[in-house]
Amino acid sequence: MAILVTGGAGYIGSHTCVEMLNAGYEVVVIDNLDNSSSESLKRVEKITGKTVKFYKEDVRDKDALRKIFKENKIEAVIHFAGLKAVGESVREPIMYYNNNIQNTIALVEVMTEFNVKKIVFSSSATVYGEAKVVPLTEDMPTSAINPYGKTKWFIEHILSDLYNSDNEWSVALLRYFNPIGAHKSGLIGEDPKGIPNNLMPYISQVAVGKLQKLHVFGDDYNTPDGTGVRDYIHVIDLAKGHVKAVDYVLKTTGLEAINLGTGNGVSVFELRDAFVKATGVEVPFVVDPRRPGDADEVYADASKAKKLLGWTAELDVKQMCEDTWRWQSGNPNGYEQ
């Protein structure tokens, strides 16, 4: 019996493969390598001493999916595959709808054909839209403000409608906050293409000398130091949350939205300072105007994950910074040698 991991060669997917293998699950990956490298899976095998069965295919290809379901006894699916850059989604909305929505529909259609009705989906805190109240709880109204966010929001609705039509399904909608960090081996980590959009990869690329200075997007937010506050979560904690979510969907039916965050808010200045302290490397910065669409504060109420899954984040910001740096300094060009 195996778990199918779509997008398993990517950042969160590769770390989740490690934790799934460590927990004793057999793992099958489908990834088109659109935003990743198969090297990550070789390193997953190195870290765990176990094998990952890999199919280089597109999740929109139903025949490829059928082949995987025929060749493996799949019990449940973790669905990471998708495009994730907010700015790009504004410029290329159809590409985002085409990939994220179509691949999910193809996946659940083939899962239905093979009577596999257990799915853990990568949603995002972005579905809380422009919520003004923190901490965010799962019962708050959801919405979306950009095409990327809309794909997550639509998919949550698609999976809810699916569950409502057939109560044999078990669906976990995992709403991630801000994943950062890397495996402590330094062998796998985040490998963004081009100039990073997100704060932590930007900081670490400044530290390694690939970028000149950090651009802090606004210091006039309604927060203690004026910079944006987010809920950074170590990718290993996030990966362990997926193991718990798979355990959960395997033994239940139903549909649950679950926040995966720490519950702690950390500002841009605080994260930069923590990185400098943890690594001893300077990160020069300049304050720029706000980035459109950014909220003052976004952090989770993480109590539902604790109650339902028995999961809480354990690693602190210092470990997030140390582990990011071990990966970035050991692999300045990511998986490209």
Task: Decide if 148 is catalytic.
Answer: yes
* Residues composing the chain: 337
Cβ burial 286-312 (10 Å sphere, 16+ → b, else e): eeeeeeeeebbbbbbbbebbeebbebe
Give me the residue label for tokens 């801000």. 178
Residue from 54, 55, 69, 80 touching ligand NAD (CB under 6 A): that is 80
Residue 76 or 305 with smaller CB distance to ligand UFG: 305
Give the shortest CB-248-to-ligand NAD separation in angstroms. Answer: 18
Q: Token pair of 251, please?
A: 């033994």
- When asked if residue 334 is in the footprint of ligand NAD (CB under 6 A), the reply is no
> Which of these ranges, 121-129, 251-259, 275-283, 319-327, lies near ligand UFG under the rule CB under 6 A?
121-129
> What distance in Å separates the CA atoms of residue 15 and residue 207, rounded to the nearest whole number?
23
Q: Does 231 bind ligand NAD (CB under 6 A)?
A: no
Position closest to ligand NAD via CB: 10
User: How is residue 297 written in tokens?
Assistant: 């504060």
| Residue 143 lies near ligand UFG (rule: CB under 6 A) | no
Residue 8 near residue 31, CB atoms below 8 Å: yes
Beta bridge partner(s), residue 121 = 79, 173
183: left (phi over 0), alpha (psi -120 to 50) or beta: beta
Q: Is 133 helix (H, G, I), strand (E, B) or coil?
A: coil
CB of residue 230 to ligand NAD, shortest distance in Å = 10
Show Cβ contacts of residue 328 under 8 Å, excluding neighbours closer than 6 positions: 182, 189, 204, 205, 207, 208
Asked if 81 interacts with ligand NAD (CB under 6 A), we say yes
Among residues 128, 148, 299, 335, the one annotated as catalytic is 148
Asked if 202 touches ligand UFG (CB under 6 A), the answer is: yes
DSSP character at residue 316: -
Nearer to ligand UFG, 106 or 125 (CB): 125
**Region binding ligand UFG by CB under 6 A among candidate stretches 26-34, 48-56, 64-72, 291-299:** 291-299
Residue nearest to ligand UFG (CB): 228
Q: Is 75 in contact with 1 (CB distance < 8 Å)?
A: yes
Instruction: Check: CB of residue 148 under 8 Å from CB of residue 89.
Output: yes
- Establish if 84 lies at the interface with ligand UFG (CB under 6 A): yes
Please report, as residue ranges, which positions from 251 to 270 form the binding site for ligand UFG (by CB under 6 A): 268
Q: Give the residues lining the site for ligand NAD (CB under 6 A).
A: 7, 9-13, 30-36, 58-60, 80-82, 84, 99, 103, 122, 124, 176, 179
> What residues are labeled active site?
148
| Residues of this chain that bind ligand UFG (CB under 6 A) | 84, 86, 124-126, 177-178, 197-199, 202, 215-217, 228, 230, 268, 291, 294, 298
